[in-house]
Structure formats: C-alpha cells, structure tokens
Structure 1
C-alpha cells in the first residue's frame, strides 16, 4: 500500500499539507468547508494541482466563508468560469455554491457542519457516502473518504510509521464528543 506519507516528505506543496493539515482534527466551519471544496475540485485531478491552485481558489471563493459563497449569483459564476487561476468546472463550481447553502441550513438543524458530522459519527465509509450524497452535491466515495480522513474523522490519513501519526495520537479528538445542541430558532 502506498501512503500519502510516502510521497509528501520534502515536497514543497505536499509536505506542508501532509505535516500540518492532513488528518488533523478540525471543527472550524470555514476550514471544514474549504477542505470539502478542495476535495470536490480534486475529483478526477491530481492533489498537487489543487494545492497549486489553492491560493487562487481561496481568493476566488471569498476565503471559503460559507455566507459569502452562498450569496454568489450568476455574475459570480461567470467570473469563476472565466478565472484561469482556478479549476473551471461548472459542475464543481455549482456544487460549491450549493453546498455553502447546505452548510447554512445545517446551522439551523444541527448548529453547524461540525455538529452535523458529530451527530452522525461514528459510521463506516459506506454509510458516510450515503449520508453525504443525500446532503451535499458532488460528493462521491473518494471525495467523502478524503474529506473525512483530512479532518480526522476517518482513520488512515497516515501510515503507522509516519511521524505525523505519533503527533496525531497526542491530540484531543473533537470527533469523539457529543454534538452541541442546535441554537434555538
């Protein structure tokens, strides 16, 4: 089996992502949304391409701030499709905008995206895929798997011999807790 750990060390883009982000538990809404969107943009492409385009994607998608992206309109779609600095796939762009509105709805139903994930945790990958496909756009098996591994929900982000594995074992796991109650309407 080839691990991401085998290709990342020393690479100018893979290395920092592998060493400081991939597999680290995160519950911040903007970070979660960005990570989901990056996985969507990666579908069918290489991860290094996404990492290269990450700064341009962040600029084009308003830092992946959910409320800003959910407000994107047809003019924004046209702007994004004309932006050579990003991955210009209409289906992926539409999915990101639609998914921002979905995250907004999860605030009302669950108190946010992190709480929605916690409310359904734990489950196996197949059950996660069914749930994501019923909730979000453009979330196939690989997108869901990589997203959940990247945020520390599913195991397997790092091989047992990877030094990052040892670091991750010392961190608190926010996904093992119970969801906070949703805010009152």
Structure 2
C-alpha cells in the first residue's frame, strides 16, 4: 500500500494504525516488524517515528481504543433501558454486534495482552474490568429482584462473555445465519442461563 503523494500527517498516522491492526492480527505483535509496517504503509521504517512513539505505543493505542469504544457503545446501548432482563438483552446485542464486526480489534485485545508492558497491561485490564462490571451489575440486579437465578454473578459474567465473544472466531457475513438470527439465538442462550427457562 503505497503512501499517497502529499498525504497529511494525520492521514499517514491513520494509515499506520490501520496497517498495524491488519499486521498484528495476521502475524501477531511479536512477529510484526517495523520494517514490515513501513512497507505496508509505503514509508521508510525510520519515518514511522514521526507518527508513533514505538511499536508498543501502537499496540497500546489499538487495545485501549478498542476497550474505550466498547465501553462507550455499551453505555449508549444501556442508556434508558429499564429492568435487568431488558438490560441483559441490550448487553448481548451490543456485545455480539461489536464482536461480529470488529474481529481484528477483539482478537488483538484478547491475545496481545501478554505483549503489553506492565503499566499498559494494567490500563487495559482496568478497562476490561470496567466493561465486565457493567454486566455483573445487571446480573446482581436481576438476582436481587428474583428475575435471575444465579449462584455467583462474577462467574456468570465470565461465562456469558466467553460464550458471546466466541462468535468472532467463527462468524462469517456470508454464513447460513444472519447477524439478527445469531443475536437472537445467543441472547436466548444467555437469558436461559440466568433464568433457568
């Protein structure tokens, strides 16, 4: 992908981020080299430092942006939704839709936590915990009012998220089931897991 003549700094920075996302997803963080990234963008590897501080900084940006976007979208999806059942359904819809359409970001955020330096990893984990806590709060609310029958809200949170996140590993837009059908099926599974229905 050759750099466009006269491209601006912000445009090049965006190209670097997009190329980094593709390469890390395809090859893994450790295997991706800055030379490879520069070639993908169409600039010398040394010129990358005009736009990113380091390879680690690029990974941090991708992971934190993913988590911040996911949290912001969840908060918007839950805004004004009343009752634990409706809120759980809204959580499932948002989580599934995001994970079906942002596979590269999801895979990198999950698989490359190991590649983050300690402070960066702590920041990513704190955001992940904040996201998970939103679901835990929904489950606790449902249990408190008798709508949900769960033994441990945190364990149930991890189980539901693991089930819903798995869709990004096998979903294909041209598959036999539409996004809406898959959202319905997964949401029903999640609801039955907490209601016993």
TM-score by length of 1: 0.26
TM-score by length of 2: 0.25
Higher-RCO chain (CA-CA 8 Å, sequence separation at least 6):
1
